Amino acid sequence: MKKDIQIPIITGIEMAVVFEYNDIYKTDDWNVYIINQKDIHVEMVVIVSKGFSKKKQTSIMRKKIDVLSANSFAKVEWMQPELFKLTNQFQVTFFANNTLYDKTFTFKKNTIRENDLKLIPEINKRGILAK
């Protein structure tokens, strides 16, 4: 029975932490984005995020996006720099073409740093993509 279950591989969906200027508060902020590089929209996107280490764990955050259009992106949440000391995971679940997809994106501890920022073309801002 298990051999008959097909788990689809996710391609074209990325998570990024972006360093950007906040015009309202006049600060440089770190924000998490989801990027849809697919030529189709995805629906019922649910993102569950948490940070953890051997000794600490953050609260679990949930975000729902009804529709993420083709070749677009959406801001998910603001991220405090104190969380960079933790491993941060984002579990993403969504429907595309009536198929359910699920993938966990991970930013390992101490891997979110200004020195490692690269241009993310879809957003046209500098950031770091999850593994």
Q: Are 49 and 89 in contact (CB under 8 A)?
A: yes
Q: What is the pLDDT of residue 1?
A: 61
What average pLDDT does the segment 7-18 reach?
92
Q: Are 46 and 94 in contact (CB under 8 A)?
A: yes
3-state DSSP of the chain? CHHHCCCCCCCCEEEEEEEEEECCCCEEEEEEEEEECCCCCEEEEEEEEEEECCCCECCCEEEEEEEECCCEEEEEEEECHHHHHCEEEEEEEEEECCEEEEEEEEECCCCCCHHHCEEECCCCEEEEECC
- Of the chain, the percentage scoring pLDDT greater than 70 comes to 96
Q: pLDDT-based confidence at 8, cuts 50/70/90? A: confident
Q: In angstroms, rounded to a whole number, what is the distance separating the alpha carbons of residues 113 and 47?
A: 23
Any idea what the CATH number is for the domain that residue 102 is in? 2.60.40.10
Residue 88 has pLDDT above 90, yes or no: yes
Residue 80 has pLDDT above 80, yes or no: yes
Average per-residue pLDDT for the chain: 95
Q: Are 92 and 33 in contact (CB under 8 A)?
A: no
Name the token pair of 59.
């609260």
Domain residues for 88?
2-129
Residue 94 has pLDDT above 90, yes or no: yes
Q: How many structural domains compose the chain?
A: 1
What average pLDDT does the segment 58-68 reach?
97
